[in-house]
C-alpha cells in the first residue's frame, strides 16, 4: 500500500492548493489507521526479567465496532428509486419510469453493488473519506470505491463540492530500489466544461515508462468521481477517522486486559512455603498430586519439626478492574453509538420492534448523520449511470433500453430493525372512514409486499374496488328467485 512507503514526489507535484505539502503525511496517517484497524492499538508493556515475557493481547475491538456500524448502516441495501417528475403520469411515462429503474437495477446488480457498498463504508470510516468512482465505457459501466490512501483531489476555490482534478495512484510493484518500483497513475480533470482522463506508468523516481501514457476525453460533462467525507467540520477536505477517535481507549483496553493476564499467570498457582528444613531438601521435592514429602529437620533450628504452608491469592483488585474495563468499553461503544448487547445488559429488555428501535436509537442517529454525506453521493451515482446511456447509447443494449425522461433520484436507507407492522397496520385500518381516507391507507399499505402505492395507483385501486363491488351486487340481485310460500 502507498501508505507504507514514501509517496513519490511526482504524485505530490501533480497537486495544487493545500494538499501538496501535506499529502505524504496524510497518506502515512491513513496507513497507520489501517494498521490499528487490522491489528489493534499498540500499548507499552512493563519491563521484566528475561525469564518472563509479558502478555500482549490485542482485542481488535475497533475492527468489530466499525464493522458493526457499517453492517447496520449498509448491510441492508438502501433503495435507490427513479421517479419521473410528471404530475399526471400517462402510460408512456410509467413505462419509461419502470424501464429506467430496471436499467439502473441491472447496472447495480452486475457491478456487485451490495458487497462493494458495505466494504466502501468500512473504508470510509477507517480512512476518513472514500472516493466513489464510475468507469464508463461504450459497453460497460463499472463502480468502485477507492480507499483514502489511493487518491488526492482539488476542488473549485468557490465551491468545495465541485471537483476540478482527481489523481488516483497505486503501487503495482514494490521494491527497495526506486528504479525498480512500478506506479500506476490516473488523472481526471475538467477543461471547458468537458472531462478528460490520462493514464501512465512510472518508476519510483517519477520517470514515465515508454509507451504507457494515454490521454482521451471521457465524453462526460463532469468528473466521474465523488468524494464522501466521514464526519468533519465546515471546509474540511479530509474528514475524520473513527479509528483515530477510538485508538487511545483501545490502547488502554488492550493494556488492561494484558496486564490482568500477567497477574493471573503469576498468581494462578498458590505459593507454597516451607520452614525449618534443610536447604538441600528442596531439590528433591515433587509437586505432583498426592506426593508425600519427607522433610528432615534443619540442625540450625535445634531439631524442630519443619512446617509447610501456602499463600492464597485474593484478587482483591477484581472489582476495580471490572469497573475500569467496563467504563472504557462503554465509552468506545458510545463514541460510535453502538449499543452494548451483552447478555447481562439485555436481560428483561423489550424485544418488540419499538423496543429494539429505542435500543438502537443512538446508532440510528449516528448513521443518519453519516447519510447526509452518503445520500447525495448515491443520488449522484444513479443520475450519472442514467446519463451515461445518453452519452453511449450502446449501453442500453447491455443493461436495458429506455427513453430518457425528466426524473428524480431518491435514496431511502434500510436499517435491519423489525417493525411492529401488524399492530400499526391494524390501527391504521381502524382509522379508515373516521380520521383518514381509503386512499391514504392504500398509499401506505396497499402495494405489493405491503409497500405503499403512488397517488395514481391508489386511485386506480379504489376505482377497481368500486367496479368489483358493483359487479358483486348486480350478480347477487340477479340470482335471487322469490317464491311464494307453499309453492
What are the tens digits of pLDDT across the range 171-193? 888 888 878 888 898 999 999 99
* Per-residue pLDDT band at 250 (split at 50, 70, 90): very high
Q: Which of 37, 39, 33, 31 is nearest to 67 (CA)?
A: 37
Listed in sequence order, the residues at least 6 apart from 359 whose beta carbon sits closer than 8 Å to its beta carbon are 339, 341, 349
Instruction: Please tell me the predicted confidence (pLDDT) of residue 3.
Output: 35
What value, to the nearest 5°, has the Cα angle with vertex 39 and ends 35 and 41? 80
* Per-residue pLDDT band at 484 (split at 50, 70, 90): low
Contact (Cβ atoms closer than 8 angstroms) between residue 138 and residue 392: yes
Stretch 202-212: mean pLDDT:
82
> Between residues 403 and 444, which one has the greater pLDDT?
403
Pairing of strands 225-229, 214-217: unpaired
- Tell me the CB-side half-sphere exposure of residue 364, using CA atoms within 13 A: 11
Res. 17: pLDDT tops 60: no
Listed in sequence order, the residues at least 6 apart from 167 whose beta carbon sits closer than 8 Å to its beta carbon are 11, 14, 15, 151, 152, 153, 185, 186, 187
For 238, phi and psi rounded to 5 degrees? -120, -25
* Per-residue pLDDT band at 16 (split at 50, 70, 90): very low
Res. 297: pLDDT tops 60: yes
Contact (Cβ atoms closer than 8 angstroms) between residue 3 and residue 123: no
User: What is the sign, positive or negative, of the torsion defined by CA atoms of 47, 48, 49, 51?
Assistant: negative
Q: Which three cell numbers stand for residue 349?
A: 429488555
CA distances from 73 to 168, 318, 415 (A): 27, 37, 6
Cβ neighbour number for residue 270 with a 10 Å cutoff: 10
Range of 50-54, 439-443, 472-476 with top mean pLDDT: 439-443
- Least confident range of 29-38, 245-254, 286-295, 398-407: 286-295
* Per-residue pLDDT band at 142 (split at 50, 70, 90): very high
Question: Cα–Cα distance between 165 and 31 in angstroms, integer?
Answer: 23
Instruction: Kindly report the pTM of this predicted structure.
Output: 0.79
Q: Which of 413, 419, 421 is nearest to 370 (CA)?
A: 413
* Per-residue pLDDT band at 365 (split at 50, 70, 90): very high
Pairing of strands 182-191, 194-202: antiparallel
Contact (Cβ atoms closer than 8 angstroms) between residue 62 and residue 333: no
* DSSP SS3 for 412: strand
Res. 8: pLDDT tops 50: yes
Instruction: Please tell me the predicted confidence (pLDDT) of residue 187.
Output: 92
Q: Which three cell numbers stand for residue 25?
A: 503525511
Domain ranges of the chain: 2-45+76-239, 269-312, 420-477
Instruction: Please tell me the predicted confidence (pLDDT) of residue 227.
Output: 96
Res. 4: pLDDT tops 60: no
For 379, phi and psi rounded to 5 degrees? -65, -45
* Per-residue pLDDT band at 467 (split at 50, 70, 90): confident
Stretch 388-395: mean pLDDT:
95
CA distances from 83 to 113, 317, 325, 406, 452 (A): 21, 63, 51, 9, 14
Listed in sequence order, the residues at least 6 apart from 434 whose beta carbon sits closer than 8 Å to its beta carbon are none
Q: Which of 2, 227, 230 is nearest to 124 (CA)?
A: 230
Q: Counting every residue, how long is the chain?
A: 487
> Between residues 377 and 403, which one has the greater pLDDT?
377
What value, to the nearest 5°, has the Cα angle with vertex 122 and ends 2 and 385? 90
Q: Cα 64 vs. chain centroid, distance in angstroms?
A: 11
Task: Give the mean pLDDT of the chain.
Answer: 84
Long-range contacts of 26-29 (CB under 8 A, 24+ apart): 26/238, 27/2, 27/3, 27/149, 28/3
* Per-residue pLDDT band at 400 (split at 50, 70, 90): very high
CA distances from 198 to 104, 307, 461, 480 (A): 28, 87, 54, 82
> Between residues 343 and 296, which one has the greater pLDDT?
296
Contact (Cβ atoms closer than 8 angstroms) between residue 101 and residue 390: no
Res. 135: pLDDT tops 80: yes
Instruction: Please tell me the predicted confidence (pLDDT) of residue 298.
Output: 81
Instruction: Please tell me the predicted confidence (pLDDT) of residue 346.
Output: 60
Q: Which three cell numbers stand for residue 315?
A: 484478587
Instruction: Please tell me the predicted confidence (pLDDT) of residue 482.
Output: 47
- Least confident range of 90-99, 253-262, 367-376, 443-452: 443-452
Contact (Cβ atoms closer than 8 angstroms) between residue 228 and residue 132: yes
In angstroms, how far apart are the furthest CA atoms of the chain? 133
Amino acid at each position: 500500500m502507498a501508505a507504507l512507503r514514501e509517496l513519490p514526489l511526482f504524485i505530490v507535484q501533480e497537486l495544487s492548493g493545500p494538499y501538496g505539502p501535506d499529502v505524504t503525511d496524510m497518506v502515512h496517517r491513513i496507513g497507520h489507521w489501517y494498521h490499528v484497524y487490522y491489528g489493534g492499538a499498540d500499548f507499552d508493556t512493563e519491563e521484566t526479567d528475561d525469564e518472563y515475557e509479558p502478555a500482549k493481547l490485542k482485542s481488535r475491538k475497533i475492527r468489530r465496532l466499525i464493522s458493526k456500524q457499517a453492517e447496520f448502516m449498509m448491510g441492508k441495501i438502501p433503495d435507490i428509486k427513479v421517479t419521473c417528475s410528471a404530475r399526471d403520469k400517462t402510460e408512456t411515462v410509467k413505462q419509461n419510469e419502470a424501464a429506467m429503474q430496471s436499467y439502473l437495477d441491472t447496472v447495480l446488480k452486475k457491478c456487485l453493488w451490495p458487497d462493494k457498498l458495505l466494504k466502501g463504508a468500512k473504508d470510509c470510516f477507517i480512512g476518513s473519506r472514500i472516493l466513489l468512482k464510475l468507469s464508463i465505457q461504450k459497453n460497460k459501466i463499472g463502480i468502485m470505491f477507492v480507499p483514502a490512501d489511493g487518491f488526492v483531489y482539488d476542488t473549485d476555490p468557490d465551491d468545495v463540492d465541485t471537483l476540478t482534478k482527481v489523481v488516483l495512484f497505486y503501487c503495482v510493484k514494490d521494491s527497495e530500489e526506486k528504479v525498480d518500483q512500478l506506479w500506476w497513475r490516473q488523472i481526471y480533470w475538467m477543461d471547458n466544461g468537458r472531462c478528460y482522463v490520462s493514464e501512465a506508468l512510472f518508476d519510483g523516481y517519477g520517470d514515465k515508462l515508454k509507451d504507457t501514457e494515454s490521454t482521451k476525453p471521457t465524453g462526460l460533462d463532469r468528473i466521474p468521481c465523488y468524494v464522501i467525507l466521514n464526519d468533519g467540520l465546515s471546509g474540511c477536505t479530509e474528514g475524520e477517522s473513527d479509528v483515530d477517535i477510538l485508538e487511545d481507549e483501545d490502547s488502554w483496553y488492550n493494556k488492561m486486559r494484558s496486564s490482568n493476564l500477567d497477574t493471573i499467570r503469576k498468581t494462578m498457582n498458590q505459593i507454597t512455603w516451607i520452614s525449618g528444613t534443610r536447604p538441600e531438601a528442596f531439590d528433591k521435592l515433587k509437586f505432583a498430586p498426592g506426593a508425600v514429602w519427607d522433610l528432615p529437620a534443619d540442625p540450625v533450628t535445634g531439631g524442630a519439626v519443619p512446617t509447610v504452608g501456602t499463600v492464597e491469592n485474593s484478587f482483591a483488585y477484581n472489582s476495580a478492574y471490572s469497573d475500569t474495563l467496563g467504563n472504557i468499553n462503554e465509552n468506545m461503544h458510545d463514541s460510535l453509538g453502538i449499543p452494548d448487547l451483552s447478555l447481562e445488559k439485555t436481560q428483561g429488555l423489550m424485544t418488540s420492534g419499538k423496543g429494539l428501535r429505542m435500543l438502537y436509537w443512538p446508532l440510528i442517529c449516528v448513521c443518519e448523520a453519516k447519510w447526509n454525506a452518503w445520500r447525495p453521493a448515491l443520488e449522484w451515482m444513479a443520475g450519472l449511470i442514467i446519463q451515461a446511456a445518453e452519452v453511449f447509447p450502446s449501453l442500453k443494449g447491455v443493461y436495458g433500453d429506455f427513453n430518457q425522461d425528466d426524473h428524480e433520484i431518491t435514496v431511502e436507507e434500510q436499517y435491519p430493525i423489525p417493525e411492529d407492522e401488524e399492530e400499526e397496520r391494524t390501527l391504521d385500518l381502524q382509522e379508515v372512514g373516521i380520521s383518514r381516507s381509503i386512499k391514504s391507507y392504500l398509499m401506505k399499505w396497499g402495494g405489493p409486499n405491503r409497500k405503499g402505492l403512488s397517488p395514481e395507483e391508489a386511485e386506480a385501486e379504489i376505482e377497481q374496488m368500486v367496479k368489483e363491488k358493483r359487479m358483486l351486487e348486480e350478480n347477487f340481485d340477479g340470482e335471487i328467485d322469490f317464491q311464494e310460500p307453499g309453492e
